[in-house]
């Protein structure tokens, strides 16, 4: 047997696994970690919505409060007061108090606490965008892997379906599906979605972005299919499932991890757009999009009703995008060379 | 001679290229064209030729990583040309491959332990404990140490990675290994180590080998016989010493003259044959003998008639109308 000379790398301890390495790199990425912290804080605040409504705002954010009063500077003030114009025509909801308590961000046109609705709505927005992204990534992974790995007619059928979906502009498709389905929900025997359930926007938003992820996954898998180590696995006689599991899936998953925050951000924006058009989350439930819709008619007098959810969307999407960049840098082995 | 381990009978591999929807827009590439040879048990056949001559394609056809277009591959008496499913998987245990690029042929996400154990697990050779023992033994046999088992491929040098690739190919105790330029991606100093390792392994285990290379110097050290390939055809095949001592095909002659000579005195007096031009495209091969546009002995017959591979008096076979240094009457 020939000798292998002892070098320093022989003495070094074994390197950590791929995911451990990526995790370490991500932990060192300050922008990504701040974004992650921002997202966690937003999620926790939204999760605390019922507690906030009960113990700080002391209101039910789903019931209108047309004739109530609230204490401001020691005096009782009407939640829906007369408008502040010369003729006192119309009504004007109470403005923000800017301190923790009832109507911190003011009231909407039905006298509901905007701050409490913002937290409840954020919960729905986040649930929909995360769940829709999960639906999208799972469907894209399945279709992309099947098309890329098996090729032939499997690839042709899947690619044809994806192209058909891709041919529609995203919002046109989302709006058409929502308008049609929002009235009755989906009823396919075993698979039923109620019109008022969050599952309906989740399904619609999840499906429309599938081609945008499935295409790159298919390309990635087609490339891996030709790689020497997959050929080596075939040469060993490994069955297809082992090759998919050990050689293909780990690469696909790291690609999906990079895609995930970007798709969540896209889904959040799409959900807001649909809800703004009243074809997403249905009242009395709220989402950031429906609150912006509520604030549209108050934009000149009480702009905070629309600005608050708008800001929430901007901050969340920005944090998701920065986190996505960080994940890409941490998971992409070539990123090291680029620096 | 008893039945050979591997018999390749008139094997061809053609590709269609081009994008046209109609047949007219496509062109046919004959990557491997009507190739026949045999490998005996425990024998090493070196397959040499320049880049693009079809030698890697031939290697991948033999290991059934590519489907052949026509011809027959027989391994130990069994026709494996069209095998599928379980039969093919069983055949693969006898027929392993070592790849050219040790950086690309090992999954970067898996540890050496798992890479070398994979063939044993796939073919259900033993339980967890015996697989672990076998992996340790294999790793030692290829000159690596037990502490290397938990490393990832990127932690190794090219030579060490190739040792991992060899351990994986040996795991199932195959009867034939196709080594596709196993050392051409390595440093010259490491090349010799890997060649020595392969020589030891095939001698100790009696494994037959199809050793693909583009360099006769490498083949000289390991091969019992040599086949020279040009543009999808085998142009000369015979015993290594015989061919290296005196080439009969003009192309082989040029290849041999390109092998560097270590002795400066001898290097000065030898004459190098420099081939003019590039190898022709296999999509548009020359008429007659594929080598005639670059051949210094070519005559009119070479432009029209394709020479057949004929056995010479000394046992080698040559596909040439004017074999060098051989009496035509023989």
> Could you report the per-residue pLDDT of A157-196, keeping only the tens digit for each?
999 999 999 998 888 888 888 888 877 767 776 677 776 7
Cα B286 from chain centre: 25
Give me the mean pLDDT over the A224-243 stretch. Answer: 92
Cα A113 to Cα A246: distance, rounded to the nearest angstrom: 52
- For the stretch A108-140, pLDDT in tens is 888 888 888 999 999 999 999 999 999 999 999
Task: Tell me which residues of chain B, numbers 95 to 114, contact chain A at a CB-CB cutoff of 8 Å.
Answer: 95-97, 99-101, 104-111, 114
> A267 Cβ partners below 8 Å, 6+ apart?
A128, A129, A130, A132, A133, A136, A205, A206, A209
Gap between the terminal Cα atoms of chain A: 41
Nearest by CB to B106, from A229, A235, A246: name it. A229
**What pLDDT, on a 0 to 100 scale, did the predictor assign at position A3?**
46
Residue spans of alpha helices (H) in chain A? 8-11, 18-27, 30-47, 49-52, 114-150, 152-166, 170-184, 199-208, 210-225, 228-236, 240-243, 249-276, 288-296, 304-331, 335-338
- Peptide bond preceding A284: is omega within 30 degrees of 0, i.e. cis? yes
> Chain A residues with CB inside 8 Å of B143's CB?
1-4
Cα B165 from chain centre: 16
The CA distances from residue B168 to B98, B142, B174, B211, in Å, are: 9, 10, 11, 17
**What pLDDT, on a 0 to 100 scale, did the predictor assign at position A264?**
95
Test mutation, B91, B105, B164, chain A, max A CBs within 10 A? B105
Nearest by CB to B92, from A3, A235, A242: name it. A235
CB-neighbour burial class of residue A185 (10 A; exposed 0-12, middle 13-18, buried 19+): middle
Q: Please answer yes or no on whether A236 and B119 come within 8 Å at the CB atom.
A: yes
> Chain A residues with CB inside 8 Å of B147's CB?
10, 14
Cα A310 to Cα A318: distance, rounded to the nearest angstrom: 12
Test mutation, A12, A228, A240, A257, chain B, max B CBs within 10 A? A228
- For the stretch B36-57, pLDDT in tens is 999 999 999 999 988 888 889 9
Nearest by CB to A15, from B110, B119, B155: name it. B155
Is residue B306 within 8 A of residue B285, CB to CB? The reply is no
Angle A152-B61-B65 (CA atoms, 0-180°, nearest 5)?
Answer: 50
Picking from B214, B166, B174, the residue whose alpha carbon sits closest to that of residue B56 is B214
Domain map (residue ranges) of chain B: 6-94+172-318, 106-171
CA distance B273 to chain A (A): 35
Kindly report the CATH number that applies to the domain delimited by B6-94+172-318. Answer: 3.40.50.300
Nearest by CB to B151, from A15, A228, A235: name it. A15
Q: Quick check: B37 contacting A, CB < 8 Å?
A: no
* Cα Rg, chain B, nearest whole Å: 21
**B95-98 and B78-79 strand pairing:** unpaired
Dig out the tokens for A256 from the structure: 């999906």
Test mutation, B118, B158, B181, chain A, max A CBs within 10 A? B118
Is residue B35 within 8 A of residue B73, CB to CB? The reply is no
> Chain B residues with CB inside 8 Å of A152's CB?
none
Q: Please answer yes or no on whether B89 and A235 come within 8 Å at the CB atom.
A: no
Q: Quick check: B59 contacting A, CB < 8 Å?
A: no
**What pLDDT, on a 0 to 100 scale, did the predictor assign at position A322?**
94
Q: What is the largest CA-CA distance in chain A?
A: 102
Is residue B180 within 8 A of residue B100, CB to CB? The reply is yes
Q: Which of A13-17, A217-221, B88-92, B142-146 has the lowest mean pLDDT?
A: A13-17
Nearest by CB to A14, from B105, B119, B151: name it. B151
**What pLDDT, on a 0 to 100 scale, did the predictor assign at position B195?**
92
- The residue to which tokens 């010799």 are assigned: B192
Q: Please answer yes or no on whether A14 and B122 come within 8 Å at the CB atom.
A: no
Inform me whether the pLDDT recorded for A337 exceeds 80.
no
Q: Quick check: A56 contacting B, CB < 8 Å?
A: no
The CA distances from residue B151 to A4, A13, A17, B130, B160, in Å, are: 16, 9, 9, 20, 11
Nearest chain A residue to B156 by CA distance is: A9
- pTM given for the model: 0.82
Picking from A336, A324, A261, the residue whose alpha carbon sits closest to that of residue A31 is A324
> Chain A residues with CB inside 8 Å of B154's CB?
15
Number of H helices, E strands in chain B: 11, 12
Q: Please answer yes or no on whether B196 and A232 come within 8 Å at the CB atom.
A: no
Q: Which of A70-74, B66-70, B186-190 has the highest mean pLDDT?
A: B66-70
Does ipTM top 0.90? no
Domain map (residue ranges) of chain A: 113-338
Q: Quick check: B88 contacting A, CB < 8 Å?
A: yes
Test mutation, B107, B148, B152, B177, chain A, max A CBs within 10 A? B107
CA distance A19 to chain B (A): 9
Inform me whether the pLDDT recorded for B329 exceeds 60.
no
Cα B84 to Cα B98: distance, rounded to the nearest angstrom: 22
Q: Please answer yes or no on whether A1 and B143 come within 8 Å at the CB atom.
A: yes
Task: Tell me which residues of chain A, numbers 16 to 35, contact chain B at a CB-CB cutoff of 8 Å.
Answer: 17-18
Phi-psi region of B2 (alpha: psi -120 to 50; beta: other; left: phi over 0): beta
Strand order in the sheet with B310-311: B95-98, B176-180, B208-213, B44-48, B225-230, B233-239, B317-318, B310-311
Is residue A293 within 8 A of residue A285, CB to CB? The reply is no
Q: Please answer yes or no on whether B141 and A251 come within 8 Å at the CB atom.
A: no
- For the stretch B103-126, pLDDT in tens is 899 998 899 999 999 999 999 888
* Cα Rg, chain A, nearest whole Å: 26
Picking from A200, A54, A231, A160, the residue whose alpha carbon sits closest to that of residue B106 is A231
**What pLDDT, on a 0 to 100 scale, did the predictor assign at position A133?**
96
CATH of range A113-338; options 1.10.3720.10, 1.10.10.10, 3.40.50.720, 3.10.129.10: 1.10.3720.10
Residue B99's SS3 state is: coil
> Residue A152: how many CA atoms within 13 Å on its side-chain side?
3
Contacts of A10-14 spanning 24+ positions with Cβ under 8 A: A10/B145, A10/B147, A10/B148, A12/B155, A14/B111, A14/B147, A14/B150, A14/B151, A14/B152, A14/B155
Inform me whether the pLDDT recorded for A254 exceeds 50.
yes
């Amino acid at each position: 047997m020939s000798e292998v000379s002892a070098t320093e790398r022989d003495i070094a301890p074994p390197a950590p696994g791929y995911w451990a390495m990526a995790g370490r790199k991500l932990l060192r990425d300050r922008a990504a970690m701040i974004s992650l912290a921002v997202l966690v804080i937003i999620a926790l605040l939204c999760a605390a919505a019922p507690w906030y409504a009960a113990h700080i705002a002391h209101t039910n954010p789903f019931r209108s409060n047309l004739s109530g009063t609230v204490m401001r500077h020691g005096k009782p003030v009407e939640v829906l007061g007369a408008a502040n114009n010369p003729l006192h025509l119309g009504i004007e909801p109470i403005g923000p108090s800017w301190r923790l308590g009832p109507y911190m961000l003011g009231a909407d046109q039905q006298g509901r606490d905007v701050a409490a609705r913002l937290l409840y709505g954020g919960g729905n927005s986040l649930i929909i965008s995360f769940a829709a992204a999960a639906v999208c990534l799972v469907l894209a992974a399945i279709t992309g892997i099947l098309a890329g790995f098996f090729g032939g007619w499997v690839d042709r059928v899947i690619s044809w379906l994806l192209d058909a979906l891709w041919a529609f502009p995203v919002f046109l498709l989302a709006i058409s599906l929502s308008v049609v389905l929002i009235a009755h929900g989906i009823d396919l025997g075993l698979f039923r979605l109620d019109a008022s359930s969050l599952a309906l926007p989740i399904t619609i938003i999840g499906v429309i972005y599938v081609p945008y992820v499935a295409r790159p996954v298919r390309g990635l898998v087609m490339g891996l299919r030709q790689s020497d180590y997959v050929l080596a696995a075939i040469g060993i006689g490994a069955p297809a499932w082992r090759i998919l599991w050990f050689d293909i899936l780990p690469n696909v998953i790291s690609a999906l991890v990079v895609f995930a925050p970007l798709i969540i951000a896209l889904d959040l924006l799409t959900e807001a757009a649909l809800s703004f058009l009243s074809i997403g989350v249905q009242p009395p439930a709220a989402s950031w999009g429906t609150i912006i819709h509520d604030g549209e008619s108050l934009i000149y007098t009480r702009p905070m009703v629309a600005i608050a959810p708008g800001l929430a969307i901007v901050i969340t999407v920005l944090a998701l995008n920065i986190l996505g960049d960080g994940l890409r840098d941490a998971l992409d082995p070539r990123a090291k060379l680029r620096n | 001679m008893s039945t050979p381990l591997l018999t390749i009978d008139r094997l061809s591999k053609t590709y269609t290229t081009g994008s046209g929807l109609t047949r007219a827009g496509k062109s046919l590439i004959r990557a491997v064209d009507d190739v026949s040879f045999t490998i005996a048990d425990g024998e090493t056949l070196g397959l040499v030729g320049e880049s693009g001559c079809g030698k890697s394609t031939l290697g991948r056809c033999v290991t059934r990583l590519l489907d052949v277009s026509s011809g027959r591959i027989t391994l130990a008496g069994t026709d494996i040309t069209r095998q599928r499913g379980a039969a093919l998987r069983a055949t693969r245990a006898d027929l392993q491959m070592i790849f050219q690029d040790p950086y690309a042929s090992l999954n970067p996400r898996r540890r050496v332990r798992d890479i070398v154990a994979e063939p044993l697990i796939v073919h259900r050779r033993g339980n967890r404990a015996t697989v672990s023992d076998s992996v340790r033994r294999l790793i030692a046999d290829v000159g690596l140490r037990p502490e290397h088992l938990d490393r990832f491929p990127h932690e190794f040098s090219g030579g060490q990675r190739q040792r991992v690739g060899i351990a994986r190919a040996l795991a199932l105790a195959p009867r034939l290994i196709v080594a596709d330029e196993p050392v051409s991606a390595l440093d010259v100093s490491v090349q010799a180590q890997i060649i020595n390792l392969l020589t030891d392994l095939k001698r100790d285990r009696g494994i037959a080998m199809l050793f693909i290379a583009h360099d006769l110097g490498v083949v000289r050290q390991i091969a019992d016989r040599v086949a020279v390939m040009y543009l999808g055809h085998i142009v000369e095949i015979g015993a290594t010493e015989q061919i290296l001592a005196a080439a009969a095909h003009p192309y082989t002659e040029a290849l041999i003259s390109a092998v560097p000579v270590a002795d400066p005195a001898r290097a000065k007096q030898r004459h190098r044959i420099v081939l003019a031009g590039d190898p022709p495209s296999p999509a548009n091969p020359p008429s007659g003998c594929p080598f005639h546009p670059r051949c210094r002995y070519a005559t009119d017959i070479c432009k029209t008639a394709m020479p057949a591979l004929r056995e010479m008096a000394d046992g080698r076979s040559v596909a040439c109308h004017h074999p060098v240094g051989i009496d035509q009457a023989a």
